[in-house]
Amino acid sequence: MREAILEGKSKYVVRDAPDPVPADKEVLIKVRYAGICGSDLHTYYEGANIRHGHEFSGDIVAVGADVKGWEVGDRVTAESHSWCGECFWCKRGETGLCENLYVIWAQIPGVFATYTKVEYNRLYKLPPEMNYEEAVMVEPTAVALHAVNISGMEIGDNIAVLGLGPIGQLIARLAKLSGAGAVYATDLSKSRLELARDVVEEVIDVSAVDPVARILDLTGGRGADVVFECAGAIAATQQSLALARKGGTVVIPGVCLHPVETMISDIPLRELTVKGTVFFYSAEFATALKLINEKKIDGASLITSVMPLEDIDEAFRKAASGEGGKILLQP
Ligand SMILES: [Zn+2]
Ligand SMILES: [Zn+2]
């Protein structure tokens, strides 16, 4: 088969590799499409030398001896991570916080390849009317749904979404679906603002408009009830605290790997709640699949490029440009 491997910082090579053989509890899947995630971009810059990719759809082509309920030909997607089931967090049901998650993550080769192996308990069958492209959007939708679910947002709330990459786009849509009074969304990229324009009350181009002043203006000087920092950027992180109303909540799915200078006294003095979020629970993955299948979330509209796996380097450069929506690779 063919597989893409990072060879140093920001450099992929596509090479031949032996076809994987599924273990007893695994199925072998021929990958139809694989999505590029923001977290893949971090590892791209770092050059982490493993096979990446965790958003995908495909067909089962072989099943292990102990696999129950799945057969060759099933159209599937799967949860992006496995957990140990034994640590403190797994036993609390907080599987997305499993202490062995990243160890397992690094051990399981990703989906930027012709074939991938998956434990059968992570699989989900695609409904007949769901196409392979939109099925790739289930995993990022589950990530976005978890962020909305933990935010405590209420019907009628004013919501600010900072950063309109795929996760920000999905959070904006899910917030609308959950009864937000208004959603205000910010980005630098014209193409990303365009993707959200018809979905939210107002898109704010931060290259031309001060988002803090504008959102304060739009909310009677109070600020947003809930702010989602989806850019993983220094400026957006600073804005997120300034934008939240007194007593409001800031949810941070964006992963900013730089120190951020901010007045931390905003948190006690304005009684802000700050929540981090990563991954999702299994029930949220199932809900995300249902929302996309019922077209309540139009996952397909967020896919702006489909490229062959052989062009993965170009696809990553495109993803790193901060323009457009989800990029899919086709092995
Ligand atoms: Zn992801
Ligand atoms: Zn665990």
Residues around ligand 2, an ion, CB closer than 5 A: 83-84, 87, 90, 98
pLDDT in tens, 160-193: 999 999 999 999 999 999 999 999 999 999 999 9
Distance (angstroms) between ligand 2 centre and the Cα of 98 equals 4
- Ligand 1 center to residue 71 CA distance, Å? 26
Q: How remote is the CA of residue 203 from the centroid of ligand 2, in Å? A: 40
Q: In this predicted structure, what is the pLDDT of residue 166?
A: 96
pLDDT at 136 over 90: yes
| Residue 172: predicted pLDDT | 98
Calculate how far, in angstroms, residue 14's C-alpha sits from the geometric centre of ligand 1.
21
Can you give the pLDDT at residue 114? 97
Cα 164 to ligand 1 centroid, rounded to whole Å: 15
Topology of the domain comprising 2-137+297-330: Quinone Oxidoreductase; Chain A, domain 1 (3.90.180)
**Nearest ligand, CA of residue 82?**
2
Distance 168 CA to ligand 1 centre (A): 13
Give ranges for CATH 3.40.50.720 in the chain.
Answer: 142-276
Model pLDDT for residues 63-110, shown as the tens digit of each residue: 999 999 999 999 999 998 888 899 999 999 888 889 998 777 777 889
pLDDT of 200 over the 80 cut: yes
Ligand closest in space to the Cα of 98: 2
CA of 27 to the centre of ligand 2 (A): 22
- How far, in Å, is the centroid of ligand 2 from the Cα of 100? 5
With contact defined as beta carbons under 8 Å apart, do 226 and 245 qualify? no
In contact, 60 and 27? CB cutoff 8 Å: yes
User: What residues does CATH 3.90.180.10 cover in the chain?
Assistant: 2-137+297-330
What would the DSSP string read from start to end of 128-164?
A: TT--HHHHTTHHHHHHHHHHHHHHT--TT-EEEEE--
Q: What is the CATH number of domain 142-276?
A: 3.40.50.720
What is the 143 CA–ligand 1 centroid distance (Å)?
7
**What is the C-alpha to C-alpha distance for residues 158 and 29, in angstroms, rounded to an integer?**
42
Quickly state the pLDDT bin for 38 (edges 50, 70, 90): confident
| Higher pLDDT pick, 50 / 320 | 320
Would you give the DSSP letter of residue 96?
G
User: What is the Å distance from ligand 1's center to 1 Cα?
Assistant: 24
pLDDT at position 2, please? 97
Q: At what angle do helices 138-151 and 166-177 cross, to 10 degrees?
A: 60
Q: What separation in Å is there between the alpha carbon of 58 and the centre of ligand 1?
A: 17
Ligand (nearest to CA of 88): 2
| Lowest pLDDT segment from 3-7, 41-45, 127-131, 189-193 | 41-45
In 10 A of CB 121, how many CB atoms?
Answer: 14
Residue 32: its pLDDT value, please? 98
Per-residue pLDDT at 49:
78
pLDDT of 45: 86
pLDDT at 258: 93
Give the pLDDT score at 94.
86
pLDDT of residue 197: 97
Determine the distance separating the centroid of ligand 2 and the alpha carbon of 207, expressed in angstroms. 43
Q: What is the pLDDT of residues 49-63, one digit of tens each?
A: 788 899 999 999 999
